[in-house]
């Protein structure tokens, strides 16, 4: 059995009912191999945690930024609760070490699917904290690991997706609106990879790849920001 005492110490939550913590880290795949496990998988508590996280972040933004329009607050909130942020938090608290996964899932370490599993487990953990100790303790966790990153997000405009950010910077710095061209496609229909070029006028700034044109454009924009050192 896993020992959660160090984990509880790290996140500063001593669970009254340890099963709330354990359930938060049970992936569906584990139960396929261990049908007699005494707890269900974490999807229901993740559903709850998602709502708890959203209300904590929304209330914080609403109260602390009274003059900011709701459109901006929506973007800020999205940057605080998206899967990338959740995966970052999971890494900080070493949550992956405690997951109950099938043997197959346990081997699949660096895939997108693993990132989603980890991100979902953070939401489930927030749900578990809420069930065990209420909104105040859940709020403490969210403030420590997510809302503490808001200043950095605002300062570096991380709430803008790379495409929006590159466009804003390009218009500001060189007075040109960027555009994208599909440079190529590869792979079978069910698993296509698109290559897209990001242009300023006729200048090819960067190339991106992805399983959709949109994904490839985002990749190209992120690379373009780095290449231009913007």
Distance, CA of 23 to CA of 44 (rounded, Å): 10
Output the CA–CA distances (angstroms, integers) from residue 98 to 1, 21, 23, 90, 228, in the order listed: 10, 10, 11, 10, 40
Give the Cα separation of 213 and 180 in Å (integer). 10
Strands 179-186 and 203-210: unpaired
pLDDT at 156: 84
Confidence (pLDDT) at 209: 95
151 close to 77: Cβ distance less than 8 angstroms:
no
**Strand ranges (DSSP E) for 118-226?**
179-186, 193-200, 203-210
Q: Do 5-155 and 162-228 agree at the fold level?
A: no
Note the pTM of the prediction, 2 decimals. 0.76
Q: Which CATH architecture has domain 162-228?
A: 2-Layer Sandwich (3.30)
**pLDDT at residue 121, as a whole number:** 98
Q: Are 69 and 76 in contact (CB under 8 A)?
A: no
Judge whether 185 counts as a catalytic residue.
no
Domain residue ranges of the chain, discontinuous segments joined by + = 5-155, 162-228
Q: Quick one: angle between helices 70-81 and 83-92, nearest 10?
A: 40
Helix axes 70-81, 43-64, angle to 10 degrees: 140
Out of 50, 54, 96, 140, the active site residue is 50
Render the burial of 163-184: b for 16+ CB within 10 Å, e for the rest.
bebbbebbeeeeeeebebeeee
Catalytic (active site) residue 123: yes
Q: Which of 46, 105, 123, 219 is catalytic?
A: 123
Residue ranges, the chain, pLDDT below 70:
none
In order, the DSSP letters of 215-227 are HHHHHHHHHHHHH
Asked: is 5-155 a CATH 1.10.3720.10 domain? The reply is no
């Amino acid at each position: 059995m896993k020992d959660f005492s160090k984990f509880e110490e790290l996140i500063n939550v001593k669970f009254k009912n340890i099963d709330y913590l354990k359930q938060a880290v049970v992936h569906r795949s584990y139960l396929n191999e261990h049908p007699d496990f005494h707890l269900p998988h974490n999807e229901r508590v993740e559903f709850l945690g998602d709502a708890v996280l959203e209300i904590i972040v929304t209330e914080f933004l609403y109260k602390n930024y009274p003059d900011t329009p709701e459109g901006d607050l929506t973007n800020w909130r999205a940057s605080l609760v998206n899967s990338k942020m959740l995966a970052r938090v999971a890494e900080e608290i070493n949550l992956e070490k405690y997951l109950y996964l099938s043997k197959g899932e346990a081997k699949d370490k660096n895939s997108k699917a693993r990132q989603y599993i980890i991100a979902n487990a953070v939401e489930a953990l927030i749900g578990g904290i809420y069930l065990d100790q209420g909104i105040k303790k859940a709020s403490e966790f969210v403030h420590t690991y997510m809302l503490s990153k808001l200043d950095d997000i605002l300062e570096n405009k991380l709430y803008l997706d790379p495409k929006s950010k590159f466009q804003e910077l390009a218009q500001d710095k060189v007075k040109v609106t960027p555009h994208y061209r599909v440079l190529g496609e590869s792979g079978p229909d069910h698993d296509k990879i698109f290559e897209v070029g990001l242009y300023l006028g006729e200048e090819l700034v960067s190339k991106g790849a992805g399983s959709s044109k949109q994904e490839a454009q985002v990749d190209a924009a992120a690379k373009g920001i780095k290449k231009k050192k913007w």
